[in-house]
Homo-oligomer: A and B are copies of this chain.
Amino acid sequence: MSKWEENVRKVTPYTPGEQPNRPGMIKLNTNENPYPPAPGVLKAMTAPDGDALRRYPDPAASVLVNALAERYQVDPSQVFVGVGSDDVLAMAFMTFFNSEKPILFPDITYSFYPVWAEEFRIPFEKVALKDDFTICKEDYYRENGGIVFPNPNAPTALAMGLEDVEEIIRHNPDVVVIVDEAYVDFGAESALKLVEKYENLLVVQTFSKSRSLAGMRIGFAIGNPVLIKYLNDVKYSFNSYTMDQTALSCGVAAVKDEAYFQETTDKIKKTRENAKVELAKLGFSFPDSKANFLFITHPEYQAKDLFQALREEGIYVRYFAQPRIDNYLRVSIGTDGQMEALYAFLRQYMGKA
């Protein structure tokens, strides 16, 4: 090892789900939306002309911030935007989690949390979920350097009621509590209604799931203006302009089309409820999902074998080789047609065809 390597920040990076590109594949492995974004988004892509492209974007991303503020009925000073909710969460970890006490998050959760903690040298403790994969709120009533959890949780898909979320926030006035709501639009209750009441609450959401814009990298956070100001200071100390001209225009178009948003999220919820019935018929069990994916297990078939068999068939789902969940598969909700193909393959594989 060369001497210059001694001062390198060495980290074990997060491994994103694979992004295969096989013709005819059925991709249910990264919780993308099976439907394209709102029609206005494709039109908005061409809004930035040569003159807009050669110039720096608005560093405050005001068009998008204002559209979100209007949609969620908050003041623009309460909105922060970033390059996907990963960027927003990374900035939030860097900004708010600077205590010497450990931050707390569930043992089974978004696997990027420990990666950010390592990157920013934040001490952390994983808090075990109960055996039924629910979060035990009382476990978070103790000294800590901050709290973060997804609601619904991933990959379990389970949602916590807003009263329980509030209890966790109420017991932790001295630290920042981040509620990561990447999947909230598929049926959970958002903590957004609590941001006026708790100045230490940051709610993070994304355009990657319910707004079909994973490809444009747009996430946002809503909180009280003081919190958002701190977050912006750190962001402006990292990169003045994170949102490019097309991301801004596409993002605004997506927020404005409320009808399409309702229609597509409703369709996905309907397909998910049907998937619960179909997969149960095949002998699968799963926590009751409020997200755009199901976390399934089977008493007779090993998840890893199923994962491999599906993969060979061109059906991609997600498998985590981790303690407690290594006999589960996370299956994103696709179109009805894609889900039918999944059931058909499973029936055949299990000899139930």
Contact = CB atoms under 8 A, between A and B. Distances in A.
A250 B247 CA distance: 13
Contacts of A37: 50, 53-54
Interface string A29-47: 0101111110001100110
A323 interface: no
B250 A53 contact: yes
A65 B96 CA distance: 33
Greatest chain B CB density within 10 A among A32, A55, A146, A238 is at A238
A252 B215 CA distance: 16
A323 B263 CA distance: 59
A86 B241 contact: yes
A241 B213 contact: no
Given A45-B46, A212-B53, A214-B56, A83 B239 contact: yes
A41 B11 CA distance: 36
Size class of the contact patch on chain A: 35 or more
Interface string A4-36: 111111111111110100000001001011111
The list of the 3 closest CB pairs from A to B, nearest first, reads: A36-B50, A13-B236, A16-B240
Interface of A: 2-17, 19, 27, 30, 32-37, 41-42, 45-46, 48-59, 83-84, 86-87, 90, 94-99, 115-116, 118-119, 145-146, 173-176, 199-200, 208, 212-217, 226, 230, 232-247, 250
